[in-house]
Amino acid sequence: MLMIYIIGFIVALALALVLTPLVKKFAVKIGAVDVPNARKVHTRIMPRLGGLGIYLAFVLGLIAVLPFLPDSLSPRDANFMKAFLIGGSMIVLIGALDDRFELSAKVKFLAQIAAACVVVFGFNITVDFVNIPFQDRYSALESWVSIPLTIFWIVGVTNAINLIDGLDGLAAGVSGIAIGTISVMAFLMGNTTVALLCLLLLGGIIGFLFFNFHPAKIFMGDTGSLFLGFSLAMLSLLGFKQIAIVSFITPLIIIGVPLSDTFFAIVRRKIQKKPIFAPDKGHLHHCLRELGFSHRQTVLIIYVIAAFFGVLAVIQSSAAMYEANWVTFVVICVMMCFMQIGAEVIGLVGKTKRPILGLINRMRMKANPESRSK
């Protein structure tokens, strides 16, 4: 069985390497290109639609390995796979149309809700239970809570990946690290279906990164960022479905980089009295560039941060298997401190909004009054 996973990964990687240059030519031919502007880092017209290469590599890779899987998937796994493919295809379609015609935010948002509704109502996939932290019990959710919560989760994560797609290789790499984390957890839990889907996606992402890492030859566009966001949302529902092993916090840790960047963007725009969906240059990658890091260094730094969140997620989920709830508490505290102090240091919310650093500085001044007079 492990050999099938390895073959699937290699097939998807090879397909992405072959298909991405073809997608690039197709994007140029139909006019799906990204034109530079004041918000963007690149200075020349670039083909987008690259996410189509990831999607095709994933789907064709899945078709290639399906005959070698056990005779029949469980009804639950088959249902999940169908929902993933149909919902993902809808997302890819709306992303591709946006890459070519630049659809309005409202149209894209409604399309994402439609895809989420297909998953929820068409295949009955919802967040049914949540873990009660520090207690050995789980709370069943009523449908009036679980349905909107699942739709909110899918749409929110889908857009979170889209928001960090601002540098060559950034969104693809961060998504790949998160999907790799989910694959590790899936293997630990024995969830073979999710593990296979993760490895197929990871192969497609790595193959695409050969053309997307700085200096990029093609952008993934909304086709890629929305599809990878949707994929993460679906695969991270694993954290809710495997209720006996993983607590509700695990999926949030896995995608900590895009979610925290989105959270701080909302706070920043509220403080600055700007619309929540208004674009700006205050995202994590923009702030790191302002600190003097090069394009490639900025991407690699964010990769390290994403890997850090991934390690925290694996530690937390492993501890949850043994009901070591104190580990969950420590992980949450470390994550929150890391996020807040990091955001203040690089200025994610604003150059003057630094409550913790300000408090530390005041305490230091009080402890050493002589430094104040110098």
**For 218-233, how does the pLDDT look when each residue is reduced to its tens digit (9 = 90+)?**
999 999 999 999 999 9
Total count of residues recorded for the chain: 374
Domain chopping of the chain, boundaries = 2-373
What is the residue type of 363? M
pLDDT tens per residue, range 33-57: 987 765 555 567 889 999 999 999 9
220-242 core/surface letters (b: 16 or more CB in 10 A; e: else): bbbbbbbbbbbbbbbbbbbbbbb
Q: Which residues contact 185 (CB under 8 A, 6 or more apart)?
A: 238, 239, 246, 250, 313, 314, 317
> pTM (2 decimals)?
0.84
Nearest partner of 33 among 47, 49, 52, judged by Cα: 47
Q: Is the pLDDT score of 152 beyond 50?
A: yes
Residue 323: the pLDDT is 54
> If DSSP codes are grouped into helix, strand and coil, which group holds residue 139?
strand
Q: Phi and psi for 5 in degrees, rounded to 5?
A: -60, -45
**Nearest by Cα to 48 from 286, 225, 280, 203:** 225
As a whole number, the mean pLDDT across the chain is 82
pLDDT tens digits along 63-75: 999 888 766 677 8
